[in-house]
Amino acid sequence: MMIEVENLSVRYGTAYAARDVSFSVARGESFGIVGESGSGKSTVLRALAGLNRDWTGTIRVGGETVTPARDRAFFRRVQMVFQDPYGSLHPRQTIDRALSEPLLVHGIKDIETRIAAALTEVALPPSTRFRYPHQLSGGQRQRVAIARALMAGPEVLLLDEPTSALDVSVQAEVLNLLSDLQEKRGLTYILVSHNLAVVSHLCARIGVMQGGEMVEQLTAEDLRAGRTKHPHTEALRRLSVELEETDAQHGKAA
Amino acid sequence: MEVVVQNLRIAFPSPSGPLEAVRGVSFTLGQEKLAIVGESGSGKSLTARAIMRLLPRAAMLSADALRFDGIDVLNADENAMRRIRGGRAGLVMQDPKYSLNPVMTAGAQIAEAWRAHRGGTRRQAREAAVDLLAQVQIRDPGAVADRYPHQLSGGMGQRVMIAMMLAPDPELLIADEPTSALDATVQAEILRLIEDLVQRRGMGLILISHDLPLVSHFCDRVLVMYAGRVVEECRAGELARAQHPYTRGLLECLPILSEKRRRLAVLRRDPSWAAA
C-alpha cells in the first residue's frame, strides 16, 4: 500500500473536523474523497500533506509511519495541487523561478533541461517559461502548478479541487492531463472534490464524507450503477445524476 | 415588463484601440426565464449588467436599442436608472460574502432595501424583512434577521441576498452565477427557490452561468455566448439537440456520473465561431 490512514482524527476545540477516518490507497491507484463543505474532506487531505500538524491516528506512506512534522524526504515523495492556482503561485516570480525552486530545495541538477521537459510534459509552450502568473490563463496556471508539484519526481499527488475554478472545457483538458501523467509516471492520486462526476471519472475508488466521518467507501462502478449503502451517498448521487441530464428530466419538470 | 436588447456592443479601451467584449447581442425578454451561458470572458455578465447600466467606468456602451419596460437605458439619467437598479430589477451575485454588508444584520439590510424603495416606518420594514426571510424559506426568520453575515452559511447568505432583492418587488431578477460558490445540494435548493419565486411573482429572470445542463433545468430559453456573440439560442428542453459545435463541445467535455467516458472530449475552438 502506498498510503494507509488509520483512525485519523482532527479536532478544533471540542468539535471534530475529522473523526476516525481510515482508508488505504495502493501504488498507482486513484482514491477520491467526496463530500459537502464542512464534511472534513479537505481536513483529511491537509493532515496528509502535513499542512496541519494537530491530528491523531496513524498515517503511513510507502509503509513508513509519518510524524506530524515532515522532513524533506516526505515532500520529495508527496506533493499537493490546490484549487486556485493563482493563490498558489508567487505573483512576482516567473514560471521559471516557480519551477526551479523545488529542484534547488532538493538539490537536483540539470535545472535547464528539467524545466523545459516539465513544460512539455504539461503541454505548455516554451514561451511561458519567463512569464508571470498573471500573464497566463487559469488553465495554464493550473498546468504550471501541476508541473511544479511534479518537479522533484513525487510518487503521490494530493489534489484539492484541482478543476473547480476552471471552465468546463479547460477542466476536461486538465483531467485528461492528470490521467496521462498517472499512466506515464505510475503516480498515486488522492483527489478531493465536491463534484461526483469529476471524482468518479478519475478515481476507481471513492470515500464519501459527512460530518467529519467517512460514511462509505465504494467503487466508481458501484456509484455509477447506484449500488450505494449509505443514504448520504445515495442523496449525493441522485442529485448529481438529476442535474446532469439535459432533456428527459426537464420535460417532466415543465 | 419587457427588455429589448438590439445589437448591444460593449468595448474597452486598450493600447491597440477599443477591444469589443460584447459584439452585437440581441434578444428580448418578457415574463420568462432566460439563461445566458458561456465561458469566462464570453461577455455574458456584461450583457446582463448592461440592462441595469452597471458596467465598469471604462466600458463603452452602444446599441441600436436597449430598453427596460420602454425606458431607454442608453440615455436615461442617473435618477431614472436608480429606480431600475435594485428597484424594478434586482441583481444577485455569486458570493454573498462580498455582497452583504459585514457590519449590518441580515434583517437591517433587507429592511433598508425595503424602506429605500417603499418608504414606511422602521417597524414595518422590520416586519417586511422577517416576512421576506420566511419567503426565501428560512426556518427561523426572526432569529436569522438578527444575525450578521459572518454568522450565516453560504446558502443562508445567498437566501438573504435574494430576500433583499425581492424587497422592492422587482419585475426582473438577474442572477449572476448565484450558486457557483455553493455545494451541489444547496445549489439545487437555491435554484429551485429562485424558480419558484419567479413563477409565483411573475418576474422575468436572467440566469447567468457556465453550467449548461444545470441551467437547462431551471430556465425556458438558453442563449449560448462565445467571444462576445450569441452563437446559439434554443429552448432549454432541447439543449441535448443543440446544433452549434461550441454548444455541443461544452456538453461533451463534461465528465458525467451516469456514464463512463474513458477520455474527455476536448473543445477544438474554430476561429469561425468568433467571426460573424
pLDDT in tens, A96-133: 999 999 999 999 999 999 999 999 999 999 999 999 99
Residue B95 lies inside a defined structural domain of this protein: no
Using CA coordinates, name the residue in chain B closest to A179.
B263
- Looking at residue B256, its amino acid is I
Contact A36 B183 (CB under 8 A): yes
As a three-state string, the secondary structure of B132-181 is HHHHCCCCCHHHHHCCCHHHCCHHHHHHHHHHHHHCCCCCEEEEECCCCC
Contact A246 B39 (CB under 8 A): no
Using an 8 Å Cβ cutoff, are A148 and A99 in contact?
yes
User: Does any CB of chain B come closer than 8 Å to the CB of residue A176?
Assistant: yes
Give dist(CA A143, CA B48) in Å, integer.
32
Residue B201's nearest CA partner among B149, B144, B162 is B162
Tell me which H or E stretch contains A48: helix A41-49
The structure's pTM equals 0.87
Give dist(CA B138, CA B179) in Å, integer.
17
**Which cell goes with B189?**
435548493
Q: Which of B169, B184, B202 finishes a domain?
A: B169
Residue B81's Cβ-side half-sphere holds a number of Cα atoms within 13 Å equal to 14
> What percent of chain B is modeled with pLDDT above 70?
100
Contact B239 A172 (CB under 8 A): no
> What percent of chain A is modeled with pLDDT above 90?
82
Using CA coordinates, name the residue in chain B closest to A249.
B217
Please tell me whether residues B153 and B31 are part of one structural domain.
Answer: no
Contacts of A201 in chain B (CB under 8 A): 255, 261, 264
Residue B93 lies inside a defined structural domain of this protein: no
Please tell me whether residues B222 and B265 are part of one structural domain.
Answer: yes
User: Does any CB of chain A come closer than 8 Å to the CB of residue B255?
Assistant: yes
What average pLDDT does range A186-208 have in this prediction? 96
Please tell me whether residues B38 and B114 are part of one structural domain.
Answer: no
Tens digits of residue pLDDT in B216-250: 888 999 999 999 999 999 998 888 889 999 999 99
Domain ranges, residue B78: 3-88+170-274
Residue A160's nearest CA partner among A148, A146, A170, A147 is A146
DSSP state of A109: -
Quote the minimal CA–CA distance from A65 to chain B in Å.
Answer: 34
CATH number at residue B34: 3.40.50.300
Using an 8 Å Cβ cutoff, are A208 and A232 in contact?
yes
ipTM of the complex: 0.80
CB pairs under 8 A between A and B: 102
Contacts of A249 in chain B (CB under 8 A): 217
Which residues in A94-132 are b (16+ Cβ under 10 Å) and which e? bbbebbbebbeeeeeeeeeebbeebbebbebeeebbebe
Using CA coordinates, name the residue in chain B closest to A246.
B213
Provide the 3-class DSSP secondary structure of residue A210. Answer: strand
For each of the domains in chain A, give its residue range(s) and CATH number, in order of start: 3-253 (3.40.50.300)
What average pLDDT does range A236-252 have in this prediction? 70
Please identify among residues 115-134 of chain A the ones whose CB lies closer than 8 Å to any CB of chain B. Answer: none
Residue B241 lies inside a defined structural domain of this protein: yes
Interface test with A, best of B241, B257, B267 (most A CBs within 10 A): B257
Alpha helix ranges (H) inside A107-226: 111-121, 138-150, 168-185, 196-202, 220-225
Tell me which H or E stretch contains A25: strand A15-25
Interface test with B, best of A195, A232, A242, A243 (most B CBs within 10 A): A243
Please tell me whether residues B28 and B81 are part of one structural domain.
Answer: yes
**Number of domains into which chain B is organized:** 2
